[in-house]
Amino acid sequence: MPETSLIAHLNKSDESKQRDYNAIIMAFQNIGSGIYTDVASFLKWDDANKVARRMKELRELGKLENTGLKKMTPRNRPAFIHQLCNVPTKTPIQLVDDMIAAATKLPVNGKLF
């Protein structure tokens, strides 16, 4: 980890991190699964990298899991799709259905994106 990143990490308060964690978990409860840019978009956060950093920490805390599947970011880079832990693992078709619903704003499982 670069020194500047380490300093920024140490300067972020636990309360601020917890607020970020809660927001990201709430986003996943609504979107089901996605990549960091999906979460940033849902939360209307400008800094998608902030989401990526918190998602890494949530994985380490056992709250999020990597599905092993990838989706392209808006910059045409592959990123792993994540979902909350302790939820039934979705099939690739269900994950694609979630992405289509999010892109078209159609309801999935009674939830409107």
pLDDT tens digits along 25-61: 999 999 999 999 999 999 999 999 999 999 999 999 9
Could you give all domains of the chain from N- to C-terminal order, each with its CATH number?
15-104 (1.10.10.10)
Pairing of strands 78-84, 33-34: antiparallel
pTM confidence score: 0.70
Nearest to 65 by CA among 37, 26, 100, 32: 32
